Amino acid sequence: MQTAPRPRRSVLYVPATNDKALAKIASLACDAVIFDLEDAVAPEEKVTARRSLVRFLSEAGRADKEFVIRINALAGEWGRDDLEAARALRPDAILLPKVDTPGDILEANDILDAAEVPPELALWAMVETPRAVLNLGPIAELGRDRGARLACLVVGTNDLVKETGISPAGGRQWLVPWLLQIVLAARAGGLDALDGVSNDFRDLDAFARECLQGAAMGFDGKTLIHPAQIGAANAAFSPSGDAVAEAERIVAAFATPENAGKGVIQADGRMIERLHLDQARKLLARAGRGQA
Ligand SMILES: CC(C)(COP(=O)(O)OP(=O)(O)OC[C@H]1O[C@@H](n2cnc3c(N)ncnc32)[C@H](O)[C@@H]1OP(=O)(O)O)[C@@H](O)C(=O)NCCC(=O)NCCSC(=O)C[C@H](O)C(=O)O
Ligand SMILES: [Mg+2]
């Protein structure tokens, strides 16, 4: 039996410069934390932010969360030193910002390989530039199935809006085609996909709707900027009670002696194929029901 996939329903950005926010992490119910050295850190604070993060992560317990470090772009002034510091801290993943091409990911991949960093240290990639969206197919080819470290695509809606000039309002209708492309590419490459942030962290009703929209599009979870957003993300990206019950019915239906070995059966007037059995097992694994 396979182990259950690691949940990435709620993935919280924490600026590496914000000591109060760093201290709060241990008490939060998010699945993962992204320690940010990039957008949330002003240029004049980049070096002190890196030092603070090294200090914090050297002392902090890992608890039950996935730890990810977002470095600055390798092509810029701070990226190489960030990568060096980040790899020494042995996070679960390093998140690369402003990725344009597969080459941007391979560059980081090669540096880690050359330093003999174990392959368990994954790379995550921000999809937040027009070129990244256009290059999604080749980028998604860099997954672990193909010997590279890429494990997750993370949408950067703020930068996509900035770079394209589209409006983020109206239920994100202009973003939706690109969001779906990102999910599609992630699935093709066997990667996870995380939806972008919602800046309006006081409007939790709108946020809950956006989480449900992201879950309906097939994202594995949502990136967050504030602790108040964790609950809605965990709820939206967890399988519902109805979905779990339905999956259990499908598994039970295929397990009966009369259905053993059949490719297609019927239950309650609906056709069920073995592909639905696969889907049901995956959903139960995500729900922590031990099936995979
Ligand atoms: C947006 C914020 C600046 C608001 O912070 P603050 O004014 O402190 O909010 P509150 O007073 O409501 O905070 C209540 C308590 O919660 C703690 N807190 C706040 N935010 C976080 C956090 N992210 N992680 C952990 N803890 C947090 C406060 O310290 C308060 O604690 P206490 O007083 O002890 O109860 C702030 O939320 C913030 O900085 N958020 C993250 C911003 C960030 O990281 N931005 C970069 C990533 S978003 C992005 O750019 C994605 C992508 O690249 C794109 O292009 O879209
Ligand atoms: Mg960004």
Domain holding 34: CATH number? 3.20.20.60
Q: Are 101 and 74 in contact (CB under 8 A)?
A: no
Q: Which residues pair with 272 in a beta bridge?
A: 265
Distances (CA, A) of 145 to 170, 189, 219: 38, 8, 20
Report the sign of the C-alpha dihedral through residues 219, 221, 225, 228, in that order: positive
In a domain, 206, yes or no: yes
Average of per-residue pLDDT across 111-135: 97
pLDDT of residue 37: 98
Residues 226 and 250 in one domain: no
Residue of 162, 267, 174, 157 lying closest to 222 (CA atoms): 157
Q: State the chain's mean pLDDT as an integer.
A: 94
The values of phi and psi at residue 129, to 5°, are -125, 155
Q: Which ligand is nearest to the CA of 14?
A: 1
Average of per-residue pLDDT across 9-36: 97
Domain boundary among 236, 251, 275: 236
Confidence of residue 1 (pLDDT cuts 50, 70, 90): very low
**For a pocket test of ligand 1, which of 18, 199, 204 has the largest count of ligand atoms closer than 8 A to its C-beta?**
18
In a domain, 292, yes or no: no
Q: Which ligand is nearest to the CA of 30?
A: 1
Q: What residues form the annotated binding site for substrate?
A: 70, 128
Q: Is the CB of 21 under 6 A from ligand 1?
A: yes
Q: Is the CB of 197 under 6 A from ligand 1?
A: yes
Confidence of residue 60 (pLDDT cuts 50, 70, 90): confident
Ligand 2 mean position to 69 CA, how many Å? 14
Distances (CA, A) of 190 to 99, 113, 148, 153, 254: 19, 21, 12, 11, 26
Q: Are 113 and 147 in contact (CB under 8 A)?
A: no
pLDDT of residue 291: 52
Look at ligand 1, atom 9, and give the residue with the nearest C-alpha: 226
pLDDT of residue 42: 97
Atom of ligand 1 nearest to the CA of 25: 25
Residues 146 and 268 in one domain: no
Ligand 1 mean position to 31 CA, how many Å? 16
Residues 230 and 249 in one domain: no
pLDDT at 111 > cutoff 70: yes
Confidence of residue 184 (pLDDT cuts 50, 70, 90): very high
Interface predicted TM-score (ipTM) of this complex, two decimals: 0.99
Q: Is the CB of 234 under 6 A from ligand 1?
A: no
In a domain, 4, yes or no: no
Token digits for 14?
């924490």
Look at ligand 1, atom 46, and give the residue with the nearest C-alpha: 40
Confidence of residue 290 (pLDDT cuts 50, 70, 90): low
Residues 140 and 249 in one domain: no
Residues 75 and 189 in one domain: yes
pLDDT tens by residue, 212-254: 999 999 999 999 999 999 999 999 999 999 999 999 999 999 9
In a domain, 1, yes or no: no
Look at ligand 1, atom 10, and give the residue with the nearest C-alpha: 226
Ligand 1 mean position to 278 CA, how many Å? 39
In a domain, 149, yes or no: yes
Q: Which residues pair with 66 in a beta bridge?
A: 32
Residues 224 and 158 in one domain: yes
Give the structural domain span for 231: 10-236
How many structural domains are present in the chain?
A: 2
In a domain, 5, yes or no: no
Residues 181 and 266 in one domain: no
In a domain, 28, yes or no: yes
Q: Which ligand is nearest to the CA of 168?
A: 1
Q: Are 91 and 56 in contact (CB under 8 A)?
A: no
Greatest alpha-carbon span in the chain: 70
Q: Which ligand is nearest to the CA of 158?
A: 1
Q: Is the CB of 14 under 6 A from ligand 1?
A: yes
Residues 222 and 266 in one domain: no
Residues 79 and 183 in one domain: yes
Q: Are 2 and 292 in contact (CB under 8 A)?
A: yes
Between CA 141 and CA 198 the distance in angstroms is 28
Percentage of the chain beyond pLDDT 90 is 88
Residues 276 and 141 in one domain: no
Q: Is the CB of 285 under 6 A from ligand 1?
A: no
Look at ligand 1, atom 28, and give the residue with the nearest C-alpha: 21
Residues 71 and 17 in one domain: yes
pLDDT of residue 145: 76
Q: What residues form the annotated binding site for Mg(2+)?
A: 128, 159
In a domain, 291, yes or no: no
pTM, rounded to two decimals: 0.95
Ligand 1 mean position to 51 CA, how many Å? 20
Residues 101 and 139 in one domain: yes
Between CA 129 and CA 159 the distance in angstroms is 7
